[in-house]
Amino acid sequence: MPRTTNSDSYCNTILRGEALAKLQELPDEHVDTIVTSPPYFRQRDYADVNQLGHEASAAAYVERLTEILGEARRVLKKSGSLWLVIGDKYDRGRLLGVPWRAALSLQDDGWILRSDIVWHKPNAMPSSVKNRPTTDHEYVFFFTKHKDYFYDADAIREPHVTFSSQSRMRGGRNHFFRRGSTPEQGKNSGDSNLHDARWDQAFHPKGRNKRTVWSIPLSKFREAHFAVFPETLVETCISAGCPPQGLVLDPFLGSGTTAVVACRLGRNYLGIDCNSDYCDMARRRLKGAGRQIPPGPRLFED
């Protein structure tokens, strides 16, 4: 049965509690997008008996994460999306493959996997390992609830490379602006702009479509003793997945980065976290944002 909870009570709000239990309180199709980085498997102790990440096995972790995000899918609008940032784990020298286990489990549960994105961390911590490469990436999985969904490609376009010094096109740049310099066969066949040497009209004026490798440094927040969700990473996900004045949900809010970025971008937020210290930390960050918090209810519920 559809939930009839007053949805106004769940806007610009932080809820303290276990993610699944709090999600079950929320109304159907309430949020526009979900941007989250759940606790990683056996990575950190959040000092709560209900915390995610301390399951007996990677399979049990994935099963519980799938259950939580399945409830989040009910809360998501039909046009909504999920942006899931998740890292892997080594166990006795074996890489567990947690991100892809989770992605495939969510896909089996009903989510539509639209893209796998590699978050490259140029300032990743050095590693003393000598028998494998040092890990400097995590995954961002882009899921949707339905085949028709909101996605603003223009909001996250990248600068074109073709006309820059970074271009690596075969033959250099000698074919630019020369009539007939592009072969009629292949991927550019039938493109009159290219064959008439009108290269400037063959590319989107706002930049090229976003690629699937994002190079974004780790961030620090002075109150947190660990690296936090980079605001640039969250900004990309929200800009692409949430319409203006829309509502962004993070069911594992942590230090509050998703909520802070949502406010800065003119969106509303809804956060959930089981740790009261993190809830307080997020509230202080939002209070510091002050003028950037959008109008409407600003309730902090336990």
Distance between CA atoms of residues 92 and 96, nearest Å: 10
Length of the chain: 302
Assess whether 240 and 292 both reside in one domain. Answer: yes
Check residue 186 and give left, alpha or beta (phi > 0: left; psi -120 to 50: alpha). Answer: left
Strand 137-144 versus strand 76-86 pairing type: antiparallel
Pair of tokens at residue 146: 């339905």
Amino acid identity for residue 272 in this structure: I
Assess whether 110 and 229 both reside in one domain. Answer: yes
pLDDT of residue 164: 57
Task: Please give the residue that has the higher pLDDT: either 106 or 56.
Answer: 106
pLDDT digits (tens, 9 = 90+) for 166-190: 655 554 455 555 555 555 455 455 5
Assess whether 186 and 232 both reside in one domain. Answer: no
| Domain, as residue range, for 177 | 159-208
CATH number for the domain spanning 48: value is 3.40.50.150
pLDDT of residue 172: 47
pLDDT of residue 202: 56
pLDDT digits (tens, 9 = 90+) for 11-33: 999 999 999 999 999 999 999 99
The residue out of 190, 208, 226 marking a domain boundary is 208
Assess whether 258 and 123 both reside in one domain. Answer: yes
pTM of the model: 0.84
Assess whether 58 and 202 both reside in one domain. Answer: no
Task: Please give the residue that has the higher pLDDT: either 301 or 134.
Answer: 134
Amino acid identity for residue 208 in this structure: R
